[in-house]
Amino acid sequence: MVETKIIAYIGKGGTGKTILSALTGKIAIEKQKKVLFIDADPAMGLATALGVEGYKTIGTAREEIIKSAKKGISQKNDDIREITDYVLLESLYESAEFCMFVMGHTNTIGCYCPVNSLLRNTIKSVAGRFDLVIIDAEAGIEQINRQVVESVHYPILVTDNSLRGAKTTVLANETINSSPSMKPLKTGVIFNRVEKSNEDLQKYIEDKGIPCYGSIPADLNISMIDADGLSPLNIDKTTVAVEKLRTILEMNDIL
Amino acid sequence: MPDTADLQQKDYYELIRVVHEIAEENKFTVYHLGDTKICSDLGFGSFNKGNTCIVLEEDTAVELGSPQKESVSITMWTSHRGILSNRLWTCGSDFDRLIDKSVSYIQIIMLGFEDGSRAVESDIGRIKNLTNKLPGFMTRNMPGKTWIRIDKKRMQEGFSLYALGQCLHKAYLDAIPDIKSMEIILITDNDEFIKTLKPISEIAKIISGDNTKFKWVSDGVVTCDELNCDSCDEKATCDSIREMLKKRKII
């Protein structure tokens, strides 16, 4: 049985969670790990970054399940579970390198809770087949509140050298700790796209009991890949950001 | 026991008769069902509950009826005696001879019960899911569709349409001792049969209640409440059903 590690990148918008998710996947794939990405951001940035196309989102799957249940009169809970299993497997993007679920959004009026519930169940049922599950979470702490990132072993809080970023980090950590269902093995912070973390902000975060894993500098190679619309999986493995991230993940026994 | 009452109301005798006609008109390989040895040799048994087993694409040797391919899956029953006789009908390339890894798939399961059977309709529909009963085998079901993945290890150890038919037979007999007779039709990679059998699948969905838009009247008349056929999104389905009913002289 595979021992699956689940990582989630959490933080305020614009801190680079998507690129860190992709680069983590790249490092893991190079280590011959089986990787499942979960693009939990409704903007679907990770799917776009990795060039994933032709997928069915979990949001679409949810709508199909509702439609199917409405169409028939004989469907009981077990029948709906069967339909859910079918549609969710259909939503699994599978390539030779990695697999991915894209949460997407829904056109059906109503809250996201049922979708999130599907996502949680999917993580549980599918994750066991992978060495590593990497979740690119929605900006902010909403998804932790809704327990989308339940069962995560390594929540990695991402910030920049801004007070707002640091405050979001602290709030996210408090939410994780107060959630009865979240029992992370280790939580830490990465300062992303900075030469060096701001000492005051780092102290502010560490004083709240959150270890800082380190900082990753802005990387021209990543900017170029972004500008050209190329997959971060193809970036040179010796590029600075990749090497720094690899060191952080290895030193903290995350990878 | 409302399900038991439903079971008797929803007798698929007329559809089973049509399926038999189609099978007799075509070249099928016919086997007898009841080879339990092959099931035990394959490690068949309920080793876990639920549908948790997932065969990923990279581990898949054979894929049947995936969402990218056509799939027709029908489960029917009747209490008419003498119509079913424990036969497995197969058509198309066997798993080890498929040219493409992923092909279309047809699976028809026909069950014979005595009047007053206590079998429950919703259970009957789910038994065909052999996930977690057969190592290296995954099934996903939607009304009218079955999607199967068989992993490379399972195929290396030997697996065939015959083996699948015998395992389905055993799964039903183990779960519902009430079954008096059973027939299974398995077809791989055949677009003509998909076209022929899809209307039957649609009628089966109407009878089972998986499609509530139409109503099936027992003498073979399909009705609905739609006033304007031209604007109905089920028109194609409806037309194919009516064409099949006429051709097969049900109406």
pLDDT digits (tens, 9 = 90+) for A74-131: 456 667 778 888 888 999 999 999 999 998 876 655 554 655 565 567 667 788 889 9
Name all domains of chain A by residue range, CATH numbers in brackets.
5-250 (3.40.50.300)
User: Cα B59 from chain centroid?
Assistant: 25
* B52–A contact, CB cutoff 8 A: yes
Measure B180 CA to nearest chain A CA, in Å. 25
- Across-strand partners of B139? B148
- Identify the residue among A2, A36, A60, A85 best suited for mutation to test binding to B, counting B beta carbons within 10 A and taking the highest: A85
Per-residue tokens: A203: 């102290």
Name all domains of chain B by residue range, CATH numbers in brackets.
2-191 (3.30.1650.10)
Which chain B residues contact residue A126 at CB under 8 A?
54
Please list the pLDDT of chain A residue by residue as tens digits (255 residues): 558 899 999 998 889 999 999 999 999 999 999 999 999 888 888 999 998 988 888 888 878 877 776 665 445 666 777 888 888 899 999 999 999 999 887 665 555 465 556 556 766 778 888 999 999 988 776 766 666 666 789 999 999 999 999 999 999 999 888 887 778 899 999 999 998 888 999 999 999 999 999 999 998 888 888 888 888 998 888 899 999 999 999 999 999
State residue B30's pLDDT score: 96
CB distance B68 to A94 below 8 Å: no
What is the enclosing helix (H) or strand (E) of B147? strand B145-151
- B residues 207-246 closer than 8 Å to A (CB): 208-213
Q: How many CA atoms does the CB half-sphere of A41 hold within 13 Å?
A: 27
Measure A184 CA to nearest chain B CA, in Å. 24
CB distance A185 to A152 below 8 Å: no
* Nearest residue in chain A measured CA to CA from B66: A90
- Across-strand partners of A191? A159, A215
User: Residue for token digits 């894993």?
Assistant: A213
Reply yes or no on whether the pLDDT at B50 is more than 90.
no
The string over B129-164, giving b where at least 16 C-beta atoms fall within 10 Å of a residue's C-beta and e elsewhere, is bbbbbbebbbbbbbbbbbbbbbbeebbeeebbbbbb
CB distance B154 to B136 below 8 Å: yes
Q: What is the mean pLDDT of chain A?
A: 85
* B125–A contact, CB cutoff 8 A: yes
* ipTM confidence score: 0.84
Closest CA to A127 of A154, A100, A105: A100
* Nearest residue in chain A measured CA to CA from B146: A86
Per-residue tokens: A187: 């939580």
Measure A55 CA to nearest chain B CA, in Å. 12
Distances (CA, A) of B199 to A23, A216, B8, B90: 49, 60, 22, 20
CB distance B93 to B188 below 8 Å: yes
Maximum alpha-carbon separation in chain B: 56
> Cβ of A76 and B208 within 8 Å?
no
Nearest by CB to B208, which of A74, A81, A125? A74
Closest CA to B218 of B8, B4, B1: B8
